[in-house]
Copies of this chain bind each other. A is one copy, B any other.
Amino acid sequence: MTKFDEATQATRVDEHTYDVCLDPGYTVAGALNGGYLMATVLRAVTDASPHAHPVSTSAHFLRTPKPGPARVRLEQMKTGRTAAVTRATLVQDGTAYLDTLATTATLREDADPDWAAPPGAVLPPVEECLPLPDPGPEFAMTLHERIDLRFDPPTLGWSRGAPSGRVEMRAHFRLREEIDPDPHLIALAVDVLPPAVFSIGSFGWAPTVELSWHLRALPAPGWLTLICGGRLVSDGWFDEEVEVWDEAGRLIAQSRQLARVGRG
């Protein structure tokens, strides 16, 4: 079992309840990463579903849970031949921290697209991309030790005082431990980039309010490529869209999140 599998493990208590233990190794600014939380909740969802893959997940982030024991409460809303729908709530000390609706289905390994749009951007190869500078202990970003991100250089300009001026972020991504990407890692991938508003010089803690993502295909081994952009920053809110592509050049996932602009 990989460290990521262990950190996101969900143990069945009964058909409506799974125990999890939130791992302190997935924090950013001291708060557990939302993608990590979704991956953990989805372990319970897929275990309890007759279908293998979380094809559509909608997550509303209520509060920031602490590392340590928590529970996932499940409510099966529909169990169909093609798809099942589960409501899954992450609960700690009796309080809901993350509420999700998830549709599971079983994707074919060898599906050939009937129609596909090209990627919105092409990144330079991994060796020409730049790692995130070590944020230092004051950022309480334990996640940094677990992930390997290599940024398309213009989208890392903000880290050296030269933000690109557009809401964007692009990077190759893998875990530092050697594992093949699976759907649960994709849940982390769609929320693993720094906030795309950093690229317009808007820094600070930018909490996700809602994140929906769709798993469109099963990823090939190797690096994932994350292409992130946004459309509007207004009234304290911004959106962020991430596309996840694999080394075989296939679109693996699409996400959009609505978040609050940071104030720190």
Taking the closest CB of chain B, its distance from the CB of A204, in whole angstroms, is 14
Are B85 and A87 neighbours in the complex by a CB distance under 8 Å?
no
Which residues in B have their C-beta under 8 angstroms from that of A112? 234
Taking the closest CB of chain B, its distance from the CB of A234, in whole angstroms, is 4
- The chain B residue with its CB closest to the CB of A116 is B232
For the complex, is A3 an interface residue (Cβ under 8 Å from B)?
no
For the complex, is A103 an interface residue (Cβ under 8 Å from B)?
yes
For the complex, is A126 an interface residue (Cβ under 8 Å from B)?
no
- Cα distance, A219 to B111, chains bound together (Å): 41
Are B115 and A232 neighbours in the complex by a CB distance under 8 Å?
yes
Q: Which of B85, B236, B258 contacts A60 (CB 8 A)?
A: B85
Are B258 and A116 neighbours in the complex by a CB distance under 8 Å?
no
Are B209 and A232 neighbours in the complex by a CB distance under 8 Å?
no
For the complex, is A132 an interface residue (Cβ under 8 Å from B)?
no
Are A214 and B258 neighbours in the complex by a CB distance under 8 Å?
yes
Within 8 A of B (CB), among A207-264: 209-210, 212, 214, 216-217, 229-237, 239, 243, 251, 254, 256, 258, 260-261
- Cα distance, A217 to B62, chains bound together (Å): 22
Which of A83, A231, A233, A256 has most B Cβ within 10 Å? A231
Size class of the A contact interface (CB-based, 8 Å) = 35 or more
Taking the closest CB of chain B, its distance from the CB of A225, in whole angstroms, is 14
For the complex, is A58 an interface residue (Cβ under 8 Å from B)?
yes
Are A256 and B258 neighbours in the complex by a CB distance under 8 Å?
no
For the complex, is A137 an interface residue (Cβ under 8 Å from B)?
no
Which of A82, A212, A230, A254 has most B Cβ within 10 Å? A212
Are A239 and B254 neighbours in the complex by a CB distance under 8 Å?
yes
Within 8 A of B (CB), among A51-108: 55-56, 58, 60, 62-63, 77-78, 82-83, 85, 87, 96, 99-101, 103, 107-108
5 contacts between A and B (CB under 8 A): A60-B103, A101-B101, A103-B210, A114-B261, A117-B167
